[in-house]
Amino acid sequence: MVHAELALVTLAGLLTALATGLGALPFFFLDDVNDRLNVALWGFASGIMLAASIFGLATEGLAAGGPLALGVGLAVGVALVVASDRALSGTEIHPRKYEEAGFKKLVLILGVLTVHSFPEGVAIGVSFADLPLGEGVSVLGLTVPVLAVFITGAIAIQNVPEGIAVAIPLQGLGVPRWRMVWWAVFSSLPQPIGAALAYAFVRTARDFLAVGFGFAAGAMIYLVFSELVPEARSIGRDLPRNGTPELAIGLFCGVLLMLPVSFV
């Protein structure tokens, strides 16, 4: 049964990685993606991630271990992402380099991408912590916690604009469309790995469950404000009011969509 649970969690992480490939699909029919829509999508993804982190992960962390354990997890999550970003500040990988890389270079690229995608995988794994227990949604004979369904869905939706961000420069290079889809998925491959490792950890060390929820929430909230929102602002810099209305509408819609998490 344990192997089945771990396989299901890994599958959930893989599905979110595959969702990144959806961001490349519009380029099968269009030569470009409207900047207004792109900004709104990044705002939508940001709202989803914030709501899932606050209403889902943080709330579960409070219930599992109280404010102190949650606070420790939040601080550690933010600190580790900040430290990782600083350590790799000179090795940022642009999607254009994917096509030029050999195998060894791709391994290095995947390592850099882990800093950005791994925390999202951790969030998936932690959200499955009560997989065989309680009420939830029946999947492959297992009772999946409703929180896990929401978190997996939230990260999958958030990955779509990330896929667009990967595909845009590749499209400019004339990269074949199916390879654009592959590179988009490749950018999120650390997520199923993070999901499996986090699930195995919190299932083994139940006393650290609240810290795990806090870690996932802190890392995702930090990623929203350090990457997702700045990306939206960068895309919208040539729009009226720098794309702020589109960003705000997207944020609002994302939070609104995820409000049911607060009742899990």
What pLDDT shows up at residue 108? 62
Q: Is 90 exceeded by the pLDDT of residue 115?
A: no
* Strand blocks (E) in 22-167: 137-139, 142-144
> Domains in the chain: how many in total?
1
Residue with tokens 């939040």: 74
pLDDT at 214 over 70: yes
End-to-end CA distance of the chain: 25
Residue 264 reports pLDDT greater than 60? no
> What pLDDT score was predicted for residue 42?
92
pLDDT band at 260 (very low <50, low <70, confident <90, very high): confident
- Mean pLDDT along residues 114-118: 75
- The band of 44, judged by pLDDT with boundaries at 50, 70 and 90, is very high
Q: What value does the mean pLDDT of the chain take?
A: 84
The reported pLDDT for the residue numbered 83 is 83
Could you list the residue range(s) of the whole structural domain that residue 169 is in?
Answer: 2-25+32-263
pLDDT at 28: 86
pLDDT at 212 over 60: yes
Q: Which two tokens stand for residue 207?
A: 């006393």
HSE-CB at 112 with a 13 A cutoff on CA atoms is 17
Confidence (pLDDT) at 250: 94
**Residue-level pLDDT at 149:** 86
In the chain, pLDDT over 70 holds for what percent of residues?
A: 82
- For 219-258, write each residue's pLDDT tens digit: 999 989 988 899 899 999 989 999 999 999 999 999 998 8
Give the pLDDT of residue 90.
Answer: 61
- In angstroms, the CA 9 to CA 75 distance is 25
Amino acid letter, 186: F
Round to whole Å and give the CA distance between 93 and 74. Answer: 27
CA-based nearest residue to 119, from 92, 83, 91: 83
pLDDT band at 183 (very low <50, low <70, confident <90, very high): confident
Residue type present at position 258? M
206 or 114, higher pLDDT: 206
Judged against a pLDDT cut of 70, whether residue 139 lies above it is answered with no
pLDDT for residue 94: 63
CB neighbours of residue 41 within 10 Å: 25
Sequence-separated (6 or more) residues with CB below 8 Å from residue 23 = 159, 160, 161, 162, 163, 164, 165, 166, 167, 184
Q: Residue 103's pLDDT is what?
A: 55
Q: Which of 259, 16, 10, 11 is nearest to 152 (CA)?
A: 16
Query: What are the CB-based long-range contacts (under 8 Å, 24+) for 252-257?
Result: 252/47, 253/43, 253/44, 253/47, 254/43, 254/44, 254/45, 254/46, 254/47, 254/48, 254/49, 254/50, 254/51, 255/47, 255/48, 255/50, 255/51, 256/47, 257/47, 257/48, 257/51
How does residue 109 score in pLDDT terms, banded at 50, 70 and 90?
low
Q: Which residues, listed in sequence order, are joined to residue 142 by a DSSP beta bridge?
A: 139
140-171 pLDDT, tens per residue? 666 778 888 888 988 998 899 888 888 887 88
CA 69 to chain centre: 23
Sign of CA dihedral 209, 213, 216, 222: negative
Task: Tell me how far CA of residue 255 lies from CA of 184, 200, 258, in angstroms.
Answer: 25, 30, 5
